[in-house]
């Protein structure tokens, strides 16, 4: 079984590449972030023609998550129970579903913007709510994972230059501690070092030739429970999908499971 996560940075802009990638990659389940569309505008029919069902949580031009599966979708939960919300509103940042033998969450963790910004505090609160929401599934015997754009680089080795990011979000001790606390819920990073690349970055800014210069970050992560981690047979970042015209600024992260 092949499961992947990909921040597509607008499914409308990326649809031809997404459809082609699904056909060529052999992916069974895709957790998608930053759909940047409404649920009604999501291209469910085009995906259905390829044999995929969709569960979508999206409300407009920002955020938006989905689970796309060709092995079935059941028990869909839209939104994060206990979501702290931002500016009085809950944002479409989490969706979960059971797909064949595994249960997955697709999450788009808040960016945080700046350390002194209220969005940073919201980010930390949101991760705490996520930890509480997934604890039950994480402790179970069924393969379970939370996949997505976490907007946190776990260690200094996960950014191209730690000094460049000093004082900014994505690398602060508080964010990294919040991410590490998911281990208390029974989850661990199952893709610590993908085999295909020495520096397994997943995101490169569009500006300043960051991708050609490999000035990236590893912020798209797969956190699985023990049953999920034990089933992993291979994992990699599909760096090729970041190349060329019309690419997202994120690359897909792919995990193969023997289940």
Q: What is the largest CA-CA distance in the chain?
A: 47
**Domain range holding 154?**
2-257
Which positions ≥6 away from 16 have C-beta within 8 Å?
Answer: 246
Computed over every residue of the chain, the mean pLDDT equals: 95
Rounded Cα distance between 142 and 127, Å, is 22
C-alpha radius of gyration, the chain, whole number: 17
User: pLDDT at position 61, please?
Assistant: 81
Q: Region 62-80: what's the mean pLDDT?
A: 97
Element (H, E) at 106: strand 102-108
Rounded Cα distance between 246 and 152, Å, is 25
Query: Which residues belong to the annotated binding site for Mg(2+)?
Result: 7, 34, 149, 151, 249-250
Compare 183 and 249 and report the one with higher pLDDT.
Answer: 249
**What CATH number does residue 31 fall under?**
3.60.10.10
Residue 149 among the catalytic residues? yes
Rounded Cα distance between 63 and 188, Å, is 25
- Check: CB of residue 124 under 8 Å from CB of residue 172: no
- Given 83, 137, 149, 220, the catalytic residue: 149
Based on the structure, what is the number of domains in the chain?
1
Residue 223 among the catalytic residues? no
- Given 52, 108, 203, 236, the catalytic residue: 108
Closest C-alpha among 36, 124, 129 to residue 81? 129
Tens digit of pLDDT for each residue in 7-51?
999 999 999 999 999 999 999 999 999 999 999 999 999 999 999
Confidence of residue 195 (pLDDT cuts 50, 70, 90): low
Confidence of residue 161 (pLDDT cuts 50, 70, 90): very high
Query: Which residues belong to the annotated binding site?
Result: 7, 34, 149, 151, 249-250
CA atoms within 13 A on the CB side of 117: 15
- Given 122, 137, 158, 250, the catalytic residue: 250
């Amino acid at each position: 079984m092949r499961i992947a996560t990909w921040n597509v940075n607008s499914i409308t802009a990326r649809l031809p590449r997404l459809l082609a990638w699904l056909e060529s990659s052999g992916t069974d389940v895709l957790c998608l972030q930053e759909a940047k569309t409404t649920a009604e505008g999501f291209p469910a029919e085009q995906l259905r023609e390829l044999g995929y069902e969709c569960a979508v949580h999206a409300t407009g031009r920002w955020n938006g998550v989905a689970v796309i599966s060709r092995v079935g979708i059941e028990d869909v939960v839209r939104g994060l129970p206990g979501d702290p919300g931002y500016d009085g509103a809950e944002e479409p940042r989490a969706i979960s579903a059971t797909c064949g033998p595994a249960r997955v969450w697709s999450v788009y963790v808040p960016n945080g913007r700046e350390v002194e910004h209220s969005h940073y505090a919201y980010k930390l609160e949101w991760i705490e709510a996520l930890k509480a929401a997934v604890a039950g599934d994480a402790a179970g015997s069924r393969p379970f994972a939370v996949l997505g754009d976490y907007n946190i680089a776990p260690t200094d080795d996960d950014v191209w230059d730690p000094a460049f990011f000093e004082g900014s979000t994505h690398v602060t001790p508080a964010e990294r501690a919040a991410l590490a606390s998911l281990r208390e819920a029974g989850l661990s990073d199952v893709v610590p070092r993908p085999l295909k690349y020495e520096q397994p970055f997943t995101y490169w800014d569009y500006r300043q030739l960051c991708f050609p210069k490999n000035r990236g970050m590893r912020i798209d992560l797969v956190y699985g429970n023990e049953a999920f981690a034990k089933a992993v047979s291979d994992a990699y970042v599909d760096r090729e999908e970041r190349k060329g015209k019309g690419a997202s600024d994120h690359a897909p992260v792919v995990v193969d499971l023997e289940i």
